[in-house]
Amino acid sequence: MINISLTKTILIAGFISTTLFAYEAFTRNAVANLDSHKKLIGSGLSEHWKSGNVILLIRHEERCDRSNNPCLGPDEGITALGGERAKETGIHLKAHFDFEDADIFTSPMTRTVQTSDFMLGKASLLSDREAICGNDIVDKLLEHKNSGRNLIVMTHNTCMKDLIKSSGHRYSWSPEYGSLLFAKATSKNEIQIVGKLNADEVRKYPSPF
């Protein structure tokens, strides 16, 4: 009886250890979720922004051609609901960050341009959708990053995943419409991802952090 109980205890302990190891392996290198005030403060994002070191990628809002909601205009654009959400997200972002310290670019696709207009205001058009995308996205971002100025790019979920992958993170996260991916440029001319926020998480913060 003692041997059976001991065997069970060993098996249970082994199972717990294996589970904890698997969980640690799964979460290792995952992009941090900045979904609480405490996490936002701990990320140092505010200080990075004041230093002009932040690179922010934002996914466009709800696509008209993949929704039953009323469209703002052409099918390749965003929905009216997406426009309202983009406007609201922009209000909250501007309460947290000084956009005068940022260079803003947008993919030339209708959905990104419309989202950028509502959320960010005036932005420079990139030459094409893939201008800041692909396996060399880090180099492309650094080419557009001016020293002492933050960089904001209105883009697509595939491009956000390119940065996640290129930075050595797992991209288990699929960026939602209007979601944000924060990174910072380092003194070694590298890019480190700080964390991510879904649009609804941005809109829940009533005051600057």
> What is the fold of 33-202?
Rossmann fold (3.40.50)
pLDDT band at 7 (very low <50, low <70, confident <90, very high): low
Instruction: Report the side by side order of strands in the sheet with 102-106.
Output: 124-125, 102-106, 150-155, 54-59, 180-185, 191-197
Higher-confidence residue of 122 and 169: namely 122
Q: Which residue has the tokens 């419409």?
A: 177
Instruction: Kindly report, residue by residue over 73-117, the tens digit of the pLDDT.
Output: 899 999 999 999 999 999 999 988 999 989 999 999 999 999 999
User: Of 38, 36, 54, whose CA–CA distance to 99 is shortest?
Assistant: 54
Spatial contact of 185 and 163, defined as CB atoms under 8 Å apart: no
Of the chain, the percentage scoring pLDDT greater than 90 comes to 64
Q: At what angle do helices 137-144 and 157-166 cross, to 10 degrees?
A: 100
Q: Please state the pTM of the whole predicted model.
A: 0.84
Q: What is the pLDDT of residues 137-187, one digit of tens each?
A: 999 999 999 999 999 999 999 999 999 999 888 666 788 999 999 999 998
